[in-house]
Amino acid sequence: MLFPPASCPRLVVKVGSALIVDGDGGVRRPWLAGLVRDIAARVGAGQQVAVVSSGAIALGARRLGLAKGGRASLDDAQAAAATGQIALAGVWAGLLEAEGLVAAQMLVTLDDLEDRRRYLNASATLARLMALRAVPVVNENDSVATAEIRFGDNDRLAARVAQAAGARGVVLLSDVDGLYDRNPAAPGATHIARIQRIDAVAHMADTASASGMGSGGMVSKIAAARIATAAGIDLAISSGRVDRPLSGDHRHSLFAAEDREVSARKAWLGGGLTTKGAIHVDAGAAGALAKGGSLLAAGAVRVEGKFGRGDVVAVEGPFGIIARGLAEYDAADAAALVGRRSDEHAAILGYAPRTALVHRSHLVML
Ligand code: GLU
């Protein structure tokens, strides 16, 4: 596979549940062993590789005898994940060891990567592990993450992990070999090899996961592609329904990175999935932001939610969310300044004001 994600110095490979677990809930060992041989060859050639592995819930459900693949309720999914994860870790550790590699497990929740400090910790751990030639095997910490805060799919998790790992490429190994202009099973469906503008293809995605095992489907893959490409990372969707999926040139869809020079901080900000609140702005302010300006209080019309200074907030224009940024004030102080000119701020607040509600260096347009 010679396409850019596979040939970059640091790569994240995401493996979907249906590739790891067969229809009876058993591990697809021979296939995984082939993938691990590919990973070993890449590490041997100097590429640093991290794996994002699904499959905990599917594996655990079988062991606990749970219906609906362990996804009938959140409690079931969490119990299945806890049971399956320990088995999954054992499978990866054994297979990697057989190839002379050291496995390292990292379980992360959405919150871990949304909180700047914890994100930087995860980032440092990933970098250290890969520098030591260990292979991080990452999954969502499903047994503690709750419905509202969990990633819910490992596609977006893989894109966030790639950011945290400073990777330039992500390969999502899936049960499909890429994006089609309609349901791949429909007559006349055409494979799309290279995607430059995600907005032009977003409507083609189907929400359902083809295997019914994972939670992804093409929608989450496109969401992952948005996070990755905006952060300067190429992302490919490629089939895992072949032996040795990382060797040779296999059919895939490539989402090419928009701008390689996005700062790491802005990439983290733009790729986030949650916000603590929102600042609504008028059309004039929305235009100023699009030209690279800061969000000034005078252009704000309303503040929503409970956020503290330094929290991530959405910026909403008249037609929806236009940016994400770090708040310079907590929600109450920001609300007090809404619509007010800068020369009034000190008197309103009773302390020396900052220059903006969100400074342009902490703002990312979406
Ligand atoms: N983290 C889940 C698991 O290990 C999979 C999420 C997904 O389907 O992408 O089972």
Residue with the nearest Cα to atom 6 of ligand 1? 153
**How does pLDDT run across 271-324, given as a tens digit for each residue?**
787 888 999 999 999 999 988 889 999 999 999 999 998 889 999 998 888 999
- Domain holding 41, by residue range, is 10-268
Kindly report the pTM of this predicted structure: 0.78
Ligand 1 centre distance from Cα of residue 291 (Å):
40
Same domain, 246 and 310: no
pLDDT at 207: 53
Same domain, 260 and 347: no
Give yes or no for residue 54 CB within 6 A of ligand 1: yes
Same domain, 333 and 262: no
Pocket probe for ligand 1: among 59, 153, 157, the residue whose CB has the most ligand atoms within 8 Å is 153
On the CB side of 143, CA atoms within 13 Å amount to 12
CATH number at residue 170: 3.40.1160.10
Write down which residue in 236, 268, 300 finishes a domain: 268
Is 348 part of a structural domain of the chain? yes
User: What's the structural domain count of the chain?
Assistant: 2
Is 1 part of a structural domain of the chain? no
Is 181 part of a structural domain of the chain? yes
Is 4 part of a structural domain of the chain? no
Is 2 part of a structural domain of the chain? no
pLDDT at 16: 92
Give yes or no for residue 76 CB within 6 A of ligand 1: no
CATH number at residue 307: 2.30.130.10
Write down which residue in 244, 268, 292 finishes a domain: 268
Q: Flag residues of the chain having pLDDT under 50.
A: 1-2, 209, 211-212, 214
Same domain, 222 and 340: no
Same domain, 261 and 285: no
pLDDT at 261: 66
Same domain, 87 and 165: yes
Same domain, 214 and 160: yes
pLDDT at 209: 46
**How does pLDDT run across 31-49, given as a tens digit for each residue?**
999 999 999 999 998 899 9
pLDDT at 212: 45
Write down which residue in 211, 236, 268 finishes a domain: 268
Same domain, 158 and 74: yes
Same domain, 86 and 137: yes
